[in-house]
Amino acid sequence: MPDTARRLVVILLFDGVDLLDVTGPPEVFSLALRETEEAAGYRVLLAAATTDPVTTGAGVRVLPDVTFAEAAAGAIDTLIVPGAVEVDAERRVHPLVDPRLVEWVRVLAARAHRVASVCVGAHLLAAAGLLDGKRATTHWSTARRLAADHPAVTVDADPIFIREGDVWTGAGISACLDLSLALIADDLGEAVALRVARQLVMYLKRPSGQSQFSAPLEQVSTTRRVEDLRHHVLRHLDAPLTVADLAAYAHVSDRHLTRLFKTELGMTPHAYVESVRVEKARQELESSDATLERVAALCGFGTTDTLVRAFRRRLNTTPTEYRRRFRLPARH
């Protein structure tokens, strides 16, 4: 395989892999060639252990272009590592991490200019040691597992994607499109990425800091008391909702309340309340013409300054910019 191909993208292929993880990025990259006058663009190769057909998690068989060994023989611009999961009898999701595949990730990453994981592919990068000392994301359902298995990795389950130098990690399966757009913007500029996004009928581009899931839809807690507290928060967002207020409602001490939230939800009561308020504000900004002052009041922020600071902290954007990007069209 020649090593002179410009922007050569190699995508790992293996049994059980998530189909969209594999097929999404090539669709995005192919549009980049259509939307630019450059003669080059991207060349995508699917690499597997052998060139025999691979059966994806969706049951669709895919034919590899090259073997891992052949891919490792030349220089790679971008190595994309998708993921695979299995679901147990209790419907818990577990990432699949094959040690033989992890070793090939190490080998191929050493030949690549940059490496990107899609969804639970981050578990393969972490197992290969490529995320040590770095901040990374993955699908929210396996984020705690990633953090527990790899304490050297700073796992942030919230963003759509994260870039740490030449290593990129993406969140849910559909986020592979956002990640691919970000790679195109990095290579060819925002204008080309914008044209590609329009072809995909996508917004360009969901900020890397945009949350991959809604706070009220996070993993359900295991105790009725915390679940009751969460519903109480949702119903009373315009109230102060201090630690003391929540502790009094739950009939526990402030210290015990904080311990409950950290154990069950992995965050402090203050952080949880702010996350729910930001989620509610997002919904208002997407679906209504309410002023920022009105949104701040409805969601319990009190002032627009507090609202703006929360958006910057959690979404790396402002309420005004968020509305501009994600305002839903009015229904007629």
Cβ neighbours for 10, distance < 8 A, ≥ 6 positions apart: 44, 45, 46, 47, 71, 76, 78, 79, 80, 108, 112
Query: How far apart are alpha carbons 277 and 301 in whole angstroms?
Result: 8
Catalytic entry in 11, 119, 265, 315? 119
Determine whether 290 is exposed, middle or buried from the number of CB atoms within 10 Å of its CB (0-12, 13-18, 19+): middle
Closest CA to 28 of 199, 167, 206: 199
Q: Is 299 a catalytic residue?
A: no
Q: Residue 266: left if φ>0, alpha if ψ -120 to 50, beta else—which one?
A: left
What are the φ and ψ backbone dihedral angles of 108, each rounded to 5 degrees?
Answer: -70, -35
Q: Are the beta carbons of 62 and 54 closer than 8 angstroms?
A: yes
CA diameter of the chain: 69
**Other beta carbons within 10 Å of 89:** 5
Q: Are the beta carbons of 84 and 102 closer than 8 angstroms?
A: no
The DSSP output letter for 159 is B
Query: How far apart are alpha carbons 223 and 155 in whole angstroms?
Result: 25
Query: How far apart are alpha carbons 1 and 73 in whole angstroms?
Result: 7
Q: What per-residue string of b and e applies to 271-289 under the rule 16 or more CB within 10 Å gives b?
A: ebbbbbbbbbbbebbeeee
Active site residue ranges: 119
